[in-house]
Chains A and B, each alone.
Chain A
Amino acid sequence: MNILVCIKQVPDTTAIKIDPVKHTLIRDGVPSIVSTFDAYALEVASRMKDKDKQSRITVLSMGPEQAKNALKECISKGADEAYLVSDRVFGGSDTLATSYILSGAIKMLEEKNGAPFDLIFCGKQAIDGDTGQVGPEIAQHLDRALITYASDAVMEDGKLKAKRESDEGYDYLTADLPAVITVVKTAYEPRYPSLKGKMAANKAVIPTLTSQDLSGLDLAHCGLKGSPTKVRGTFTPTHEKNGQKIEAETGDEAGRTLVKLLSQAKLIG
């Protein structure tokens, strides 16, 4: 099996705080991590490799040079090699442009390997942008089968079998290879890097793929210029109300007062 995992390096959004005065994001000192769902995707891929030791896992990311740290983390967790797509002309890409560029990089790698990746994994969404669009868009650009929102996936008799979350429960789906799969939180946690993996990651040389390496790309579809969606403005949401505080000697009394107030306001009863 030849597996590709697409990952994104993101600020740990659970550590982001809001400046209470300026209402802007405080990003200083916020650690960069492999986006949570991408880490789950890598774990699902790694479990496939555990079963079929011949498998090879390649990791791909787009972003600034520092994103190589995230790729190294993936190598420490068992990925075999990694590539970073990075070029100034790719900056400011929205999901459509990003997926277009990544698809170009995938095509280049597949050409180099002489075969398509059997499986391309993505997280269901990155935890900074939360769009969840790049994975399905890659599937479309490459015209591959797509399974989104998978909480588990295994290979069975040469076919992909995945458990996909639905609104009512889950579906078991099967797909022929090659396929693209996006992964939600799995029942298991991503593994720790092995000591050996950590040593390998230290030594790993991660090639940077620039627009020159990806000569098949039409630069009109890349970067800020090639992005159909434009951010017109951002603001931090404020949720402030001057609610009524129910003061009472005991919790019991407070509870009873609350019910009376809600009933008077015709909210219950």
Chain B
Amino acid sequence: MSFENYKNLWVLIETEENTAKNVGYELLTPGRQLADKLGEELVAVVIGGQVEDVAKKAIAYGADKAILVEGDEYYQYSSDACTYALAELIKKYQPSSVLIGATNNGRDVAPRVAAKIGTGLTADCTELGIDEETGNIAWTRPAFGGNLMAKILCPDNRPQMGTVRPGVFKKSTPDDSRTGEIIREDLHIDPAHIRVHLLERVKEVAQAVNLEEAEIIVAGGRGVKSAEGFAVIQKLADALGATVGASRAAVDAGWIPHAHQVGQTGKTVSPKLYIACGISGAIQHLAGMSGSDTIVAINRDPEAPIFQVADYSIVGDLFEVIPAMVDEIEKLKA
């Protein structure tokens, strides 16, 4: 395979009902760095209903160019339509690499496109770099429930593809004065080739849980003991203007909805402050929050692994510690 024809690093900006998912913009941050190192252009690919403003925004976030595909069939995610459009674009433009957010939709379309093109795809990356020796992208991803990290290359096929977990990278500060070409592509799938149809869309209250964007997260685990216990967590979160997170143990026990889950099978977060309450710190949980700037751990068990990653540790009963914290925060505010 000759790689000469394969140029430029792409980031798919996933949209849903004309709104971009944050992870697309987030990926423009490492995308920019990689493109600069490789001496390539950073191209945002925007597929959606009416999403020209998303393309413009992508340029403000650092893309050199944007390729824009608009159509009613893309307004709400369709696996068939999105696979078709992205694969057609790749065949036409031949990018060297494609980054896609590891959302459910991203993890749906990416493998289909990879299979259609016949190239390698690395899932759920948490780190991106360039392999010095070969110039290939080095994709780093967790496996075995976060127990193991693997560095993966795609040396002999192009484009190199990877999905990246939301929340791993941060959006840059948008620069609205940046300009870049927006290339419109008129791509429409034969409606007969759309085999899956949306009957009903249910948006849950969990919509308000935006862990990836939160500056402060107060998270509860097994030590919270009950659904009622989460009221204590919520109180601290309210006092701090924080979002409530949870470990898998708390979610599995049914104390709090899955949308709050942080970790390997939940969200990856990187807030400025993460307060872990009654969370032991299983590797699967650490995988989702160890990128936080400052970590506070409150746990009764002095041996809990969470203390190894904590900047501030309290060995004690969260039901004593947290009410005192809330009280003290109220005093500060007054």
Question: Which A residues contact B (CB, under 8 angstroms)?
Answer: 11, 13-14, 16, 18, 25, 94-96, 99-100, 125, 127-137, 139-141, 144-149, 161, 164-176, 179, 221, 227-237, 239-241, 243-246, 248, 250-256, 258-263, 265, 267-269
Q: Are A245 and B313 in contact (CB under 8 A)?
A: yes
Total CB contacts across the A-B interface at under 8 A: 269
The minimal Cβ–Cβ distance linking B77 to chain A, given in whole angstroms, is 8
Q: Are A239 and B195 in contact (CB under 8 A)?
A: no
Q: Are A234 and B148 in contact (CB under 8 A)?
A: yes
B83: contacting residue among A11, A94, A140, A173, CB under 8 A: A140
Q: Are B332 and A233 in contact (CB under 8 A)?
A: no
Contact with A along B308-334 (1 / 0, CB 8 A): 111111111111111111011100110
> Bound complex: CA of A251 vs CA of B83, how far in Å?
55
A237: contacting residue among B131, B146, B272, B316, CB under 8 A: B146
Known: A136-B111, A171-B198, A258-B296. A244 touches B311 (CB 8 A): yes
Q: Does B121 contact A (CB under 8 A)?
A: yes
Contact with A along B119-140 (1 / 0, CB 8 A): 1111110000001000000100
Question: Which B residues contact A (CB, under 8 angstroms)?
Answer: 16, 21, 77, 79-80, 83, 103-105, 107-108, 110-112, 114-116, 118-124, 131, 138, 142-157, 195-204, 206-207, 216, 240, 264, 272-273, 283, 286-287, 290, 294-297, 307-325, 327-329, 332-333
Q: Are A16 and B144 in contact (CB under 8 A)?
A: yes
B115: contacting residue among A18, A140, A173, CB under 8 A: A140
> Bound complex: CA of A168 vs CA of B309, how far in Å?
30
Q: Are B149 and A173 in contact (CB under 8 A)?
A: no
The minimal Cβ–Cβ distance linking B144 to chain A, given in whole angstroms, is 5
Q: Are A250 and B286 in contact (CB under 8 A)?
A: no
Name the residue in A169, A233, A239, A265 with the highest tally of chain B Cβ atoms < 10 Å from its Cβ. Answer: A239
Interface of chain A: mostly helix, strand, loop or mixed: mixed
The minimal Cβ–Cβ distance linking B82 to chain A, given in whole angstroms, is 11
Tell me which residues across on chain B come within 8 A of A133, comparing CB atoms: 107, 110-111, 114, 121, 123
The minimal Cβ–Cβ distance linking B136 to chain A, given in whole angstroms, is 9
Q: Are B152 and A232 in contact (CB under 8 A)?
A: yes
> Bound complex: CA of A267 vs CA of B241, how far in Å?
12
Cross-chain pairs A/B with CB under 8 angstroms, 24 sampled: A11-B144, A96-B118, A130-B145, A147-B196, A167-B103, A170-B202, A171-B199, A176-B195, A221-B118, A227-B120, A231-B150, A232-B152, A234-B148, A241-B295, A241-B311, A243-B309, A243-B311, A251-B319, A255-B328, A258-B314, A261-B312, A267-B294, A268-B329, A269-B329
Tell me which residues across on chain B come within 8 A of A252, comparing CB atoms: 320-321, 323-324
B313: contacting residue among A95, A135, A231, A246, CB under 8 A: A246
A25: contacting residue among B144, B156, B195, B311, CB under 8 A: B144
Tell me which residues across on chain B come within 8 A of A235, comparing CB atoms: 148-149, 151
